Structure 1
Amino acid sequence: MEWINAIVQGVLLGGYYSLIACGLAFMLQVMRIINLAHGSLAVLAGFALWTLAARFHISPFLSLIGVLPAMALLGWLLQRGILERSTRSGELVPILATFGLAIVLDNLMFLQFSADPRSLSQYIGTLSYDSWAVGSSIYVGKLSFLILVVAVAMLGGLSLFLSRTHIGRAIRATAEDPDTVGLIGISARRVNAMAAAIALVTIGVAGAFLAMSGNFTPYSGATQLLFAFEATVIGGTGSLWGTLLGGIVLGIAQMIGAQINPQAFLITGHVVFLVILVARVSGKLPSLAGMAARLRRQQA
C-alpha cells in the first residue's frame, strides 16, 4: 500500500510540475525559445498575488482576474522589447537575454520583498491542507488535486487552441516559417507577441499555485525552472500533452526515490531526467507524446 500511495502522490506532484512547465513548453514549441526567466516570472506572479492578499486582503483566486491580464501585457512587452530584437541575432542571444532578465527580476524582487519566505497558504483557508481519504492509508490533497485538474485543463486547452482555432493555426504556421506567413496576410510580429502573452498567462497561473502550495522567495525561480525544464524534456518538446506525461514521470520518480530513501527524493528525479535525455539524444527513445499517439493509432 505504501508503494501505491507513493505513486498516487507522485501523480499529484507531477501535476504541479506539468503546470509549472506549461508556459516553458508552449514558448519552446511555438516560438522556439528557451525562456530562462520562466521561473522568475512565476515567482513574480506569486509576489503580485501575495501583495494583494497581504496588504489589501483580496482572495488570491479573485486577484487572478487582475494579475493574469497584467502578465499577458508583460508577455506582449517582453516579446516586443526583448525577444523580438534578440532573435534577429541568432538562437543563442534570446537564451542569454532571458537569463539576464531572470537575474534582474530576482534582484529587484529581493530589493522589494527581502529574502523572507512568503506563502499564500494562509489566504486560501482549509484548501491548503484538506484532503480526501482513499482507503486506510492513501490521502489525496485537495489543493494537489486541483493543481492536477488545472494542469490537464490548461495543457488540453492550449492543445485544442493550437489545432482548432484560426489564431492557434496562425501561431503554429509562424513557428514553422515566420517569413512565408507574411505572404498570406499573417503578421509574424503580432502572432509572436500574442503567443508570448498566452505563455505569460500560463506562467501566472503556475506562479499562483506555487505560492499557494508552499513557501517561495525572490530566488525560488531557478528551482522552478529546473523542474519545468526536466518535465518538458522528459515528455518531449513536440507536444503539450507530453509535458503532462513528463511531469508525472518526474513526480513518480521523486516519490519512489523518497520511498527508498528520504534523501533520494530529488536525486532520483534528476537521474531519470538524465537517463531519458541521453536516450533521446542518442535516438533510442521517442517522446512520450509520440509513443502515446502511436498507441492510439494501433488501438484504432
Structure 2
Amino acid sequence: MMIWVNQIVQGILLGGYYAVIACGLSFMFSVMRIINLAHGSLAIVAAFGLYVLADQFGFDPFGALIIVLPAMGVIGWVLQRTILERSQRGGMLVPILSTFGLSIVIDNLLFEHFGADTRSLAPYIDELSWDSWQLTDDISIGKLAAITFVTAVLILGGLQLFLTRTQLGRAIRATAEDPDTVGLIGINARRVNAAAAAIAMLTVGVAGAFLGMRATFDPYAGGPQLIFAFEAAVIGGAGSLWGTLIGGIVLGVAQSIGAQINPQGFLITGHVVFLVVLLARLHVDEIGTRFRKTMRRSA
C-alpha cells in the first residue's frame, strides 16, 4: 500500500515540472491563441545556455538564471515581433507551421554547435540533484523535485496575480479578449502581445533549468518536452493557469502509476490519460454545440 502512496507522491512532484514547462505554452495560447511548436526547443536553448555558463564560466546554475532569463525574455519579444505577429495574419495554421519550422532550425543549430552528446546540469548543483527527505521507510521526497513543485506554484500564482492586479496584466487580458478593439481605449496590442511572449519565454527558461538539473538533455530533446507540455495543458484546460498545474499533476501521477505497473508503462499511461481527457472534452463540446443549436431553433 505504501509503495502506491509513494508512487502517487512522486507523480505529484513530477507534475510540478510538467506544470512549469506547460505554463508558457498555456499562457501564449490564452493570450494570443497560438500553439508554439518551438516551445520545447526553446527550453533546450535555455538549458544549453545555463550549461555553457556553468561549464565554461563557473556560474552556479541558479545564479546563471540572472543572465539566461532576461535573454529568454528578449528572445520572446523578438519572436513575437518577427515571426508570430506576421504569421498570425495568415490565419491559425500559419503560426503553427512557422513555429514548427523554427523548432527544426533551433534543433539543428544546437546540434551543429554542441553535437549529439547529452549534457546535464546535475554535476553543478552537487547533492541537490539526488538528495531527498525520508518521510517513512517507503516514502521519500526529492529536494529538487520539491523545489520544482514549489516553483510551479509560485510561477502560476504570480502570473495569476500579475494578470489581475497590474495594469499590464489587465491589458494582456483585454487584448486576449478582443485584440481589435483594445486600441480604442489606448492599448497597443502589438506591444502587449510582445510583452506576453517575453513573459512566456521567462517561464520556458525556468523549465529549461529544471530539465537540465533533473535529467540529461541533447539538441533534439525539445520534442518530448513539447509533448509533455501540450498534454498537461490540454488535460488541465488549455489557457487555464491553475488548470495547467492540475493537468501536470494528473499526467505525472498517471506516468508514475504506469511505471509501477510495468516499466514500459511510464509514457504509455500518460498518453492514454491524455487521449481519454481529450476525447471527453471533444464529446462535451459536441454536446454543448448541439444544445446551443437546439436552443436557438426553439427560440
State the TM-score, normalizing by the size of structure 2.
0.94
Deviation at 1:269, TM superposition (A): 0.5
Deviation at 1:238, TM superposition (A): 3.7
Aligned to 1:266: 267
Query: What whole-Å deviation, never above 9, does each CA across 1:60-112 have from its counterpart, x for those lacking one?
Result: 11110011001101100000000010001111100100000000000000000
Aligned to 2:169: 168
Aligned to 2:205: 204
Q: Any conservation in 1 of the 2:15–2:252 contact (CA below 8 Å)?
A: yes
CA-based RMSD of the aligned residues comes to 1.2
Counterpart of 1:197, as a letter, is A
Aligned to 1:187: 188
Aligned to 1:292: none
Deviation at 1:284, TM superposition (A): 7.2
Deviation at 1:185, TM superposition (A): 0.4
Write out the 4+ residue segments of structure 1 that deviate beyond 6 Å after TM superposition: none
Measure the CA separation in 2 of the matches of 1:84 and 1:231: 26
Counterpart of 1:160, as a letter, is L
Q: Any conservation in 2 of the 1:279–1:285 contact (CA below 8 Å)?
A: no
Map 1:216-231 → 2, pairs under 5 A: 216-231=217-232
Query: What whole-Å deviation, never above 9, does each CA across 1:216-241 have from its counterpart, x for those lacking one?
Result: 00000000000000000000014100
Aligned to 1:21: 22
Measure the CA separation in 2 of the matches of 1:141 and 1:191: 38
Q: Does 1:135 align with 2:136?
A: yes
Aligned to 1:120: 121
Aligned to 2:97: 96
Measure the CA separation in 2 of the matches of 1:284 and 1:83: 28
Measure the CA separation in 2 of the matches of 1:81 and 1:22: 22
Aligned to 2:155: 154
* SS of the residue 1:282 aligns to: helix
Deviation at 1:33, TM superposition (A): 0.5
Measure the CA separation in 2 of the matches of 1:259 and 1:173: 45
Aligned to 2:296: none
| Structure 1 unaligned spans of 5+ | 287-300
* SS of the residue 2:22 aligns to: helix
State the TM-score, normalizing by the size of structure 1.
0.94
Measure the CA separation in 2 of the matches of 1:261 and 1:245: 24
Q: Any conservation in 2 of the 1:50–1:120 contact (CA below 8 Å)?
A: yes
| Structure 2 unaligned spans of 5+ | 288-299
Q: Any conservation in 1 of the 2:72–2:201 contact (CA below 8 Å)?
A: yes
Aligned to 1:298: none
Measure the CA separation in 2 of the matches of 1:189 and 1:27: 14
